[in-house]
Amino acid sequence: MSIVGICGVGGRMGHAIARSLDAKGHAIGNSFDIEASPIFGKDPSLVIVDKKSTATVSAITVSPLSSVDCVIDFSSPVATMKILEAAVESGTPLVIATTGIDTAMEKKISDAANHIPIVYATNMSVGVNLLFKLTEMAAGALGGSYDAEVFEAHHRHKKDSPSGTASTLIRSIQEGHEAYRDNKEAYRDRGIIGERSDDEIGVQILRGGDIVGEHTVFFCGDGERIEITHRATDRRIFADGAVRAAEFVVKAEPGLYSMFDVLNIG
């Protein structure tokens, strides 16, 4: 059993992670959220009915991290940078699942991994990480001779666009074969936009309702079309994957790890 803190514990994913930790026999330790959260200053185990602990939900500081074995971060890019700095100071392993992380932030995560073990992934689902690997393999096999497109759909409240998962799928295509390596993202709008170019990866985005997450990669050739799709119907899959990553990171040496490392599908 591990004692795991949750950054963003008051959100929908925070609740799902708490339930997953409990189901897998782990304890919920000191956790973090904004002061406006209804659970701020309270026991984070209250998100699970009939559970009590001595842990507290607080602002991000070094002190609360000393009593947990690792932290799962499903928050915001700003909060992620704060928990990253505090975790390095306290020596606490991290699982980072926040989306919307930019290149400069990724560099900070990479630098922090010289001091603590970090699992960083844009999507914690086992199935989505298989989608990443299959996309890379397909791009390599097709050799750049097929037009590549990425479609993603999420609920109406999602703030970042494209999703972190879609961005990773684009990188999977680019890394799959040198012919795609320098292809740019193309977001099409209405009007006479001209023919598709040879050096683009099309990106299509849908936001609406309560869609948990849907991603499809298209490889379109002359006479055939290949589609690789993952549909999420329950946020539990992301929570379960994050807990699996936490079980991995508490035993790991300092370094930057992906879900491929967690799942041993590198």
Question: Which long-range contacts (C-beta less than 8 Å, at least 24 apart) are formed by 174-183?
Answer: 174/139, 174/201, 175/136, 175/139, 176/135, 176/136, 176/137, 176/138, 176/139, 176/140, 177/139, 177/140, 177/142, 177/143, 177/144, 178/144, 179/143, 179/144, 179/145, 180/139, 180/144, 180/148, 183/148
Beta-carbon contacts of 132 under 8 Å, excluding residues fewer than 6 positions away, are 123, 168, 169, 172, 260
Active site residue 157: no
Active site residue 154: yes
At residue 232, the 3 state secondary structure works out as: strand
Cα separation, 184 vs 197, whole angstroms: 10
Q: Determine which one of 51, 108, 133, 158 is catalytic.
A: 158
Q: Determine which one of 154, 177, 215, 230 is catalytic.
A: 154
Q: Which two tokens stand for residue 266?
A: 């590198």
Cα separation, 189 vs 204, whole angstroms: 10
Positions marked active-site: 154, 158
